[in-house]
Every structure is written in C-alpha cells, then in structure tokens.
Amino acid sequence: MFTTTKRRAGAVGMAAAAALVLAACSSGSTDEEPTEGTSAEPTAEESATETAAFPVTLDTAMGEVVVEEQPERVVTLGSHEHEYLYALGVAPVAVPVSWQGYDFGTGPWADGDRIAAGAEPELFEPGTTTYDAEAIAAFEPDLIVATYPNHTMTEEEFTLLSGIAPVVTRPATDSEGAETVEWGVSLEDELNLLAQATGTTDKAGEILDNIDAMFTEVRDAHPEWEGLTSQVGGYYEGQAYVYAASDTRNQFLAQLGLDVASIEGTEDAWFPISAEQLDVLGDLDSVVWQVATTPDARGALEDLPLFPSLNVSEVGGSIWLSEPILEGAFFANSPSSIQYSLEAFVPMLEQALDGDPATEVVEFNDPSND
C-alpha cells in the first residue's frame, strides 16, 4: 500500500533534552468550545477532494513516504501531533499517554478540537528510548505520525514501523528549503505535512490564516517589541539552561517580533549554562523561566551569584511561568494552544518589556483552577 525511500535522519542529543521536555508540563482538564474552522463530519465535496489527494508523496527526514489512500486509522507517537490532527478534523485512534496526565492524552486547550473531530483515542506508553512496534501494530494503523517524537527515531525503528503502515516523520526541509532539525519544525511546516498526509490541505490553510491573524494583531499593537531579545529557560537538577531558537516555545516568542536567536551555542535542542556562565544571558531584555513543574527552580535561580547582575533582573524582564496548564500549552505550540498562550503571555510581556523594574509581572493563573 505504500513505499519508502530512506534518508539518514539527523540525530539530536536526547538524554538531557528528554528530561527537560518531560518537565515541561503538568495536569489539568476542562471543556472548551471547538476551535473555529473545525468540523467533525466532512461534506461530500470535502470528502471527494480528500480522496482525490491520494496517492501523495511526502518528503520527510527519513526519506520519501508514499501514502496511497486516505488514512482512517492514525496512530501518533509524539507529544503534540494529535493536537495538530484534531485541528485538521482528523481523529487518531491511539496517542501516547500524556506526561501531563490528561484524559485522552490531550491538554484542555485542545479538548474543543478533539471533541469536534470526534476523537476518543486509546492511550499507550510510547517509550522514551525505543518504540514498541507490537503495541503500535495492535491498533491496526494505516498511518503512523512521528513529527514531534518522544525520542529520535532510528533507521531500524523506521524500517520496522514502516512494515506496519506509512511513517510520517518531520519534513526534510522547511518552507525556505533549509534542512529541518528534530523538535524544531515550525507549526506551519508540520501542519502542512500532516495535512498532505491526511488530505486536509484546505483546512490547514484556514488554520494558518487564523493563527497569522492572531499574531499580527499582537505585533501591530506592540511595535516596540520588534527586535527586543528574549529566551525560554529554566533550572533543572542543578542546571540552568535555555532552549534553541528553533524550539516550539521560542518559535511562539519569535512570532511576536522578539529576537530569540541572540545567544550563541543554542543550535542543539537545549543549551546548558553553568552558574559561572550565567552572564551569557546578560543582555537579554526578557527571559521566560519555566518553573511550573519545578517549583524550587525560581529560588535556585535567584540565589545564583550572577542572577542579580543580569539585564532581565535590572529591568524586571523575568517572566516566571508557574502555571502548569500554560506551561503545557506553551510547549505544545499547536493550533489550539496558540490563543490560550497569547491570552496568558501578552499581559506578562507587556509588564516585563516596559523597561521599568518597578512594574510587577503578574504570574498567569488559569481561572479554571480557582
């Protein structure tokens, strides 16, 4: 039913990055209205268009993958691909157990899209170092999605899983033709690839237009943010760190006009910083510190000798991300999480980037927790 042409995938150092990703989110649940533009049942015209889209050849990091027919049983292997599929109106039959502890493996920000897509996926343990092909095969998938996997997929794993169904990894190149990196694909490129794989490219266009409009509205309201520097970081098991500019969280900040690539050495997924090197962050205008799942991290960071001398300390540019649901949405950077993150972050950024150290940056608190 499908063919593949393998290409060696670029690997990213995983052991430490996996630990940091697992520390990215926490639990919660709520019911939300479906995201604008999603629908549970396609019209006859939409169904005909989707069918006509196949077979389709996808250019992925593991080589060309041909999907012969409209997939009906999709299994995802990573942390946010199912949220992208929900937005496209696709209901995966199985998704990994969420490290946030959410029902159906789905954060509350994406529950509206999940319901609209009619998805109640089964859950399975994805494994942090290897994929359980037998467990995946038990769901009888006709498409396997691993565009944001829990670990770097080896060629051996890709070959094994391809014996079950077509395996869609991240795109080989981005929209500008540059080679992609693991956990660094843009929302646009990932969504477009998944839309091709599922015959929902028209839906992807609508979603991207809506997201662009939301970011444009914020940028237009805050032209003073253009070019200001920011980064996302934290403190984990005695180690300060920041994420690569390509990380999903930094992608979000970049869409607001902020410069997230001003620190050298962040080409890999994350960049560890010793206490003696903390001044590498010295000139940043703001830092989003993730502390929701590591509540002692704030005190540990503020106690570091160099922390008071950082520019963010002098101008009041630190944002302490202490809300677990927001931390999860921020990490997901999925179509359904964008509006949630914008509503939470814009007020905090307004306070952090006003240049006045006396301005209190009020930490976001999800009202559903009250």
Q: Which of 16-20, 81-85, 218-222 has the lowest mean pLDDT?
A: 16-20
* Interior angle at CA 188, CA 100 and CA 201, nearest 5: 105
pLDDT of residue 42: 53
Per-residue confidence at 238, pLDDT binned at 50, 70, 90?
confident
Whether residue 1 is predicted with pLDDT greater than 90 in this model: the reply is: no
- Which whole-number Å values give the CA distances from 164 to 142, 144, 202, in the listed order? 8, 9, 28
Whether the pLDDT of residue 83 is over 90: the answer is yes
Q: What is the mean pLDDT of residues 39-51?
A: 52
Mean pLDDT confidence for 19-48:
41
Band (pLDDT 50/70/90 cuts) for residue 265 is: low
Which pLDDT score, from 0 to 100, does residue 256 have?
97
Rounded mean pLDDT, 258-262: 91
* Per-residue pLDDT at 60 exceeds 60: yes
What is residue 370's predicted lDDT score, i.e. its pLDDT?
60
Which pLDDT score is estimated for 12? Answer: 29
pLDDT of residue 262: 81
With b meaning 16 or more CB within 10 Å and e meaning fewer, what string describes 70-105? Answer: bbeebbbbbbbbbbbbbbbbbbbbbbbebbbebebb
Residue-wise pLDDT tens digits, 102-161: 999 999 999 999 999 999 999 998 777 889 999 999 999 999 999 999 899 999 999 999
Position 100 confidence tier, pLDDT thresholds 50, 70, 90: confident
* Over residues 2-27, mean pLDDT: 34
Domains of the chain: 44-200 (3.40.50.1980), 222-369 (3.40.50.1980)
- Could you identify the residue written with the tokens 């991290």? 297
Evaluate whether 10 touches 246 at the Cβ level (below 8 Å): no
Give me the pLDDT at residue 163, please: 97
pLDDT at 33: 39
